Amino acid sequence: MSLTTVQDDALSSTRRRGLPPRWFDRFYVNAHAGSSTPFFMVGAGVYPGEDVVDGYAVVVTGGEQINLRVSAPAGPGDLPTAVGPLFWETVEPLRTWRVRLSPNESGLACDLTWTARTAPWECAPVRLDDGAGTMLEFDHAFQSGRHSGWIEIDGSRHTVDRWTGQRDRSRGRRPATARQGLHLWVQAQFVDESIAFMHDLDRKNRPTLLDGAVLRTDGSVDPIVDAGHDLRFAEDLEALPGRLEVSTRSGREIALEVDPAATRGGFLAGAGYGSFHGVRHGGLVVEHDRWDLADPARVPRAMGYPLTDRLAAYVRVEDGTRTEGSGVFEFAHTRSPAYRYAPAVLVR
C-alpha cells in the first residue's frame, strides 16, 4: 500500500486481518498562523491487531498546553472516521481533509478543512531495529496545505483563514526510540514552498536517515540529497536557536535558521505518544489535562516521551536573500548520558 495514492489516503480498515501486533495507520495535522500561538495539533490512528481506534487534540497557547486523548474499541465500520468527539473525513484524497472536534470537557473544539498547497512526499520505507534484534518497517508521507474554519479554546473562537497545516501520514510498525541520538522532522513553511524532511542520527552522530524534499506550491518536487546541522540544546534538552542546511537534486543550497525557542510546549507526550496509543482501555475513554508551560518540570528531559513538535520561526537563506517563514521543528534528543550532540555542517 502507498500512502500517496487516492485509494490508500484514508485510514485503513479496522477489520484488516493478518497484521502483526502494534501495526498502526495514523494521520496527524497541525495548524498555525505564522510562528505565533495558538498552535493546534490533531490526529488519530487505527490498530487492527488490537481492535482499537484512538486520537488526540493538543493546543499550545502562550503559557499552557491543553491535551485531549480519546480511545475506543474498533467499531463495525470498514473505514474509521470517528472516535469519541473527534471526527475526520477524506473529502478528496490527497487534496482535502476535514477534521471536527465537538465540544467536550477539555475546552477544545474545532471544524477545520485542510486543502493541499503542495504535492505529497512519500519517504522510502524505514526499517529500524526495535532494540531486541527485530527489524520493524513503516511508511511515512507528508504534505503542506492550508486550513479554513475555526478553533475554539475555552469558549473563545478563533477564525482560521489560510492557516498553514502540515499533514503527516504513517503506517506500519515503529520502535519507540530505535536507539537514536537525535531525531528531526523539519517542516519549514514559506509562501512559495515547504522544506520538509526527516533526519536521524545514531548515538555516535552518524546519519541513519535523511528523506524529504522541497515541495513547491507550483506542484514541483525537488528531493533533498544532503543535509547539515549546527544545533544547540540546553541541559534540560530544550532546543535552542540553530541552523540547518540542505542541498537538493536540482542544485539548490539552502540554509535554514530555526528558532524553536520562539514558543514553548508541543510535547507529544500530552497527545498520548509512548503510552496511550494502540492500547486497549476497555471501552470509550476521553481524558484531558492542562500543563503550565512555566512549570520547570515541563521540559523534554522530564517527559516520559521526549518527542516535541515545536512551533518555530524559520529564515530561509539562499543566494544572499533572507526570507522569513514558520513551521514545526520536531525533535527528540536521547536522554542517554553517553550521547553528546555534534554539529555536522555541509562542506561547500
Average pLDDT of the segment spanning 206-213 = 96
Sorted by sequence, the CB contacts under 8 Å of residue 187 that are 6+ apart come out as: 142, 144, 166, 194, 195, 196, 327, 328, 329, 330
pLDDT classification of 49: cutoffs 50, 70, 90: confident
Average pLDDT of the segment spanning 108-126 = 95
Question: What's the number of CA atoms in the CB half-sphere (13 Å) around residue 153?
Answer: 18
pLDDT tops 80 at residue 297: yes
pLDDT of residue 74: 85
Cβ–Cβ under 8 Å, residues 152 and 158: yes
pLDDT classification of 338: cutoffs 50, 70, 90: confident
pLDDT of residue 13: 72
DSSP 242-282: EEEEEEETT--EEEEEEETTSS---BGGGGTTTTTTT---S
Mind listing the pLDDT tens digit for each residue in 261-272?
A: 989 999 999 999
The DSSP code for 81 is: -
Q: For residues 270 and 67, what is the distance between their CA atoms, to the nearest angstrom?
A: 6
Average pLDDT of the segment spanning 110-132 = 85
Show the cell assigned to 133: 534484534
pLDDT of residue 96: 98
pLDDT tops 60 at residue 129: no
pLDDT of residue 125: 84
pLDDT tops 90 at residue 78: no
Mind listing the pLDDT tens digit for each residue in 130-180?
A: 555 555 678 899 999 999 999 999 999 999 999 999 999 999 886 555 578
Average pLDDT of the segment spanning 206-222 = 97
pLDDT tops 80 at residue 14: no
Mind listing the pLDDT tens digit for each residue in 215-248?
A: 999 999 999 999 999 999 999 999 999 999 999 9
Q: Rounded to two decimals, what is the model's pTM?
A: 0.94
pLDDT tops 60 at residue 85: yes
Q: Which of 67-76, 250-259, 292-301 has the lowest mean pLDDT?
A: 67-76
For the chain, the average pLDDT equals 92
pLDDT tops 70 at residue 17: no
Question: What's the number of CA atoms in the CB half-sphere (13 Å) around residue 339?
Answer: 21
- In the numeric block, the cell 477534521 is attached to 99
pLDDT classification of 4: cutoffs 50, 70, 90: confident
pLDDT of residue 165: 96
pLDDT of residue 178: 58
